[in-house]
Amino acid sequence: MVSIAVFNNKGGVGKTTLLCNLASYLQIKKNKKILVIDADPQCNASIYVTSDDELEKLYSNSKTKTIYDIIRPLQRGNNYIENSSIPIKSNENFGFDFILGDSRLSLMEDFLSADWIDGKNGGPRGLKTTFVFFDLLQKLANEYDYVFFDVGPSLGAINRCVLLSCDYFIMPMSSDIFSLKAVDNISKSLTEWKRFIDKGLKEYQNNSDNEPYKIGEIEVTANLRFLGYIYQQYTTKTKEGVKQPVKAYENIIKRMNNTVSLDLNDFYTPYLSTDKLLIGKIPILNSLIPLSQTAHKPIFRLLGSDGVVGAHFLKVKEYESVVAKLVENININLCAYEMA
Amino acid at 57: K
Instruction: Quickly list DSSP for 291-316.
Output: HHHHHTS-GGG--GGGT--TTHHHHH
pLDDT for 339: 81
In this prediction, residue 240 carries a pLDDT of 54
pLDDT at 244: 53
Residue type, 285: L
**Percent over 70 (pLDDT), the chain:** 96
Note the pLDDT of residue 234: 64
What confidence score (pLDDT) does residue 239 get? Answer: 55
What is the per-residue pLDDT for 301?
97
Decide: pTM greater than 0.75: yes
Half-sphere exposure in the Cβ direction for 229 (13 Å, CA) = 29
pLDDT in tens, 258-281: 999 999 999 999 999 999 999 999
Tell me the residue range of the domain where 183 lies.
2-339
Nearest in space to 264 (alpha carbons), one of 161, 170, 148: 170
Q: Give CA–CA dist 223/150, Å, rounded.
A: 19
Element (H, E) at 115: helix 109-119
Predicted confidence at residue 241, as pLDDT, reads 56
| DSSP class of 143 | T
Q: What's the confidence (pLDDT) of residue 130?
A: 98
The structural domain count of the chain equals 1
Q: With 60 as the cut, is the pLDDT of residue 310 above it?
A: yes
Contact 194, 163 (CB under 8 A): no
pLDDT band at 286 (very low <50, low <70, confident <90, very high): confident
CA dihedral over 100, 104, 106, 109, signed as positive or negative: negative
In this predicted structure, what is the pLDDT of residue 287?
87
Q: Residue 198: give its domain's CATH number.
A: 3.40.50.300
C-alpha span between 292 and 210 (Å, rounded): 53
pLDDT above 70: residue 237: no
pLDDT at 235 over 70: no
Tell me the pLDDT of the chain averaged across its residues. 94
Mean predicted confidence (pLDDT) in 80-106? 97
Identify the bridge partners of residue 244 per DSSP, sorted by sequence position.
Answer: 237
Residue count of the chain, please give it: 340
